Structure 1
Amino acid sequence: MPHDVSARAIRFGFSPRGGAVTDLAITDEGRLITPFHRAPWAEDEVPADAPPHQRWLGGDFLAAPMGPDSDLGLAGLHGPTANGLWRVLPSPDGTLRAVLEGAVQGASVIKELSVQDDHPFLYQRHLFIGGNGALPASNHAMLAVPNGAKLSFSRKRWWETPAAPLETERGRSCLAYPRRTEDPAEFPGAGGRSVNLHQYPWGEAHEDFVSGVEDPASPLGWTAVVRPVEADVILCLKNPRALPMTMLWHSNGGRDHAPWSSRHRGCLGVEDGAALPVLGLSAAEAPDPLTAAGQPALIHLNPTGLVEMRHVIGACHWPTGQRVAGVMLDGDALTITGDWGAERRLPIRDGWLDTGSGELLRPTPTGWDV
């Protein structure tokens, strides 16, 4: 059964299948903004051996472990959190809490999604209670960009593609694999050309994946996606020291097989997390360059404690269509600045991202029966 949660000027939907935020609707300056993408196929068009989440692909979910399953391969892509069932718990107004039916590497997983009056943001946190080992994990937001977009990011150390393209025989890519560079405006492309990561799309029909690694000195990790035709900007925010990677998935007609069938277009995945295995060159180095710099390459579970991932996603009216030049967090205000001087100042929860800390470990929240 789907669930709807709302506050003044914002609403989201939640499905227990895959723990997906199915839709998000924000009213800002008299305009309704709906940032999320949804796949164009019916559930019965998805092959039986595909990961379950492809049947309802869209919105935002938690990928943990992110990537193919060690036993199930692609059939278990993105783990139990994306493919399993979640049980909704009693929650206060404006909040939805749910627990994963099952475990991830022995950890119980709790999801909390919340909205607040007149805040154009969905606040997300995931708690891993107990468990053993380390795993790649990320939020997996899918944004609708059918008319193209301009992308901006907080400062990154470098950008890198996986060891191999997402599709080698049944599709096509615009980027070269594996490659690594510091300049997102000149990323190595297929066939020797360069590709500008600041724009969407990169080609007529392509399926691509590339990751940026945060500069740990950045005060805030952010991605801004300006949709000029829709006259808005979508924002993804995080603590750059806790979740040091931003991964971009371009799905724009580059997969020919079912259920994609060359029709899955205008989808931009913005996936914030810690997922070393998707770095095609860095993952093979010892020590890897994240670990060497003191950045978490994976999410490390605590057998006797709690590990927390926090993330914020939202949007606002942005009529100028200017590319975002900066995003600054100051207490309970977030300021967005365009490259030609446009500016918006938005309310946000003070201290919620805890950007002064790189710690993922936190005490158990009071008032929770976990």
Structure 2
Amino acid sequence: MTVTPTTRRALAWAHGCLSVQSLGAMLGPVLFMLPDGRQISPFHIAPWGNDPDRHILPPILRELRGEWPCVPFGSDGRRTLPIGWNATGETFNGADVPHGYSSNAHWDWGGCDDSRIMLQCEYPAEHPVSSVRRCITPDPVAAAIDITLEVQVRRTCNLPIGLHPTFRLSPRTGSVEIEPGIHGAVRSFPGDVEPGATLFAKDASWPALQGVTTREGKPVDAACVPFAGQAEDLLQLTDIGGSLALHYCDEGFRVQLQWQKEHFPSVLLWYSNRGRRAYPWNGNHLALGVEPVCAAFDLGPGISAASNPINRAGTATSITFHPDDAFITRYRISVEATC
């Protein structure tokens, strides 16, 4: 099997350095320089990135790292879901590709210079999305990165979209605190994210991460990670105010993610807590996805664009795109010292 080689570009500024790869336009690693001289690298880099067997994986997984956009978010597929969930939304050729075509394709490099990195991805002719563009710009006066995403479509369509920042976790149980700010309901996945490793009660809702319960009815503080033991699961925070922070208590820093809440009214938390045993996860993968989305979990266009319990409760799970009006959204990732 021939695999297109990944190319990379790097950029340094007064408060750090970053790397971007062509595959998925994934940002990472990033090294932030704090005023006290510490160097902080918060993004997750999957440990199999140089494994010679990774060519058997979907492209999105081969060199999984950091942060990237998902257009559309999730993927269509056969699922058994509870009453109230259905797959009657718009679908199309390519809707089953994990997290969208651009997450699995090599992007073209755009107008890169000493202050920014730009990339563009052209979609297949039959896809409703025409192209996506991405501009990554470090803040010249802060340990922060500003990112712009532009989506152009060929025809009017209704799609879920999302961002996919993925962060490393400190090894001690409960050593990283999730600080989501104001939000609405916390919803659990309406099925099994990973058979045998699902943690949270199925298709349930709670007011806060601290009050979540397991499938056995036991309380768990889902705001403190990593968990003891093995788990692979998702929680969706609806009606969130456009920001979320991770406090690395043992390491004395906080990562802040800020986005336009009118574009992404939810955050999907991906708890990858040693729960997947198959290759390449091998029962030891530890990371936290903090994913601003306009979607119903990662269930894909067919479900996110249909009537579902999340949008019926008032939180949008898809966006209507128009060919004569490019969609542009902006977001920011920053790091600060806490001690």
Aligned to 1:226: 247
How many residues were matched structurally? 308
Q: Is the CA contact 1:196–1:202 (under 8 Å) kept in the aligned structure 2?
A: no
Tell me the distance in 1 between the aligned counterparts of 2:263 and 2:238. 12
Q: Which of 135, 138, 142 in structure 2 is aligned with 1:112?
A: 135
AA aligned opposite 1:155? I
Partner of 1:196: 221
State the alpha-carbon separation in 1 of the partners of residues 133 and 278 from structure 2.
Answer: 35
Distance 1:167 1:73, change over 3 A: farther
Q: Are residue 273 (structure 1) and residue 300 (structure 2) matched? A: no
Q: Equivalent residue for 2:186?
A: 159
The reply on whether 1:18 has 2:42 as its aligned counterpart is no
The 1:96–1:156 alpha-carbon spacing in structure 2 relative to 1, beyond 3 Å, is same
Residue of structure 2 aligned with 1:53, choices 60, 66, 76: 60
Please give the per-residue CA displacement for 1:201-252, whole angstroms capped at 9, x wherever unaligned: 233111111110125xx4xx21111112221111111122221011111112
SS in 1 for 2:228: coil
For residue 179 of structure 1, what is the aligned residue in structure 2? 204
Task: From the superposition, tell whether residues 296 and 283 of structure 1 become closer, same or farther in structure 2 (CA, over 3 Å).
Answer: closer
C-alpha displacement of 1:300: 2.1
Question: How far did 1:91 drift?
Answer: 3.2
Could you tell me how far 1:116 is from its partner in structure 2? 2.1
In 1, the alpha carbon distance for the partners of 2:214 and 2:330 equals: 33
Q: In structure 1, what is the equivalent of residue 238 of structure 2?
A: 213
Q: CA deviation at 1:296?
A: 3.5
The CA deviation string for residues 311-364 of structure 1, in whole angstroms up to 9 with x for no partner, is: 211212212xxxxxxxxxxxxxxxxxxxxxxxxxxxxxxxxxxxxxxxxxxxxx
CA-CA distance at 1:276 after TM superposition: 2.3
- 1:125 corresponds in structure 2 to 148
Tell me: CA distance 1:274–1:285, structure 2 relative to 1, closer, same or farther (3 Å).
closer
User: How far did residue 47 of structure 1 move?
Assistant: 6.6
In the alignment, the residues of structure 2 paired with residue 284 and residue 2 of structure 1 have an alpha-carbon distance, to the nearest angstrom, of 35
For the residue of structure 1 that corresponds to 2:324, the secondary structure is coil
> Following TM superposition, by how much is the alpha carbon of 1:174 offset from its aligned partner in structure 2, in angstroms?
1.8
Change (3 A) 1:69 1:283: closer
SS at match of 2:75: coil
Q: How big is the shift at 1:198?
A: 1.4
Distance 1:86 1:287, change over 3 A: closer
Q: Distance in 1 between matches of 2:308 and 2:216?
A: 31
Change in CA separation of 1:108 and 1:291 when aligned onto 2, cut-off 3 Å: farther
Alignment of 1:316-327 (within 5 A): 316-319=336-339
Distance 1:159 1:6, change over 3 A: same
Cα distance in 1 between the residues matched to 2:337 and 2:313: 40
Q: Is the 8 A contact 2:310 2:316 kept in 1?
A: no
Q: Secondary structure at the match of 2:52?
A: helix
Q: Which has the higher contact order (CA 8 A, sep 6+)?
A: 2
- The Cα shift of 1:123 comes to 0.9
Q: CA offsets, 1:63-99, max 9 Å, x none?
A: 121112566687x211112110110112343111111
2:58 aligned with 1:33: no
Are 1:136 and 2:160 counterparts? yes
Name the TM-score, length of structure 1 as normaliser.
0.77
Q: Aligned to 2:216, what secondary structure does the other structure show?
A: helix
CA contact (8 A) 1:161 1:278 kept: no
Q: Work out the CA distance in 1 between the residues paired with 2:8 and 2:264.
A: 29
Q: Which residue of 1 aligns with 2:321?
A: 301
Counterparts in 2 of 1:305 and 1:242: CA distance versus 1, 3 Å: same
Native 8 Å contact 2:148 2:329 kept in 1:
yes
Structure 2 distance, partners of 1:158, 1:135, is 22
**Aligned residue in 1 for 2:86:** none
CA apart distance, 1:20: 0.6
The amino acid that maps onto 2:276 is R
Using the aligned pairs only, state the percent identity: 20
Partner of 1:101: 122
Match of 1:258 in 2: 279
1:291 CA displacement: 6.2
CA distance in 1, matches of 2:44, 2:141: 23
* 1:280-359 alignment runs, 5 A limit: 286=307, 289-290=310-311, 293=314, 295-319=315-339
Q: State how far apart, in whole Å, the 1-side matches of 2:160 and 2:9 are.
A: 28
Q: What is the alpha-carbon distance in structure 1 between the residues aligned to residue 288 and residue 273 of structure 2? A: 8
> Which stretches in structure 1 are left out of the alignment for 5+ residues?
320-370
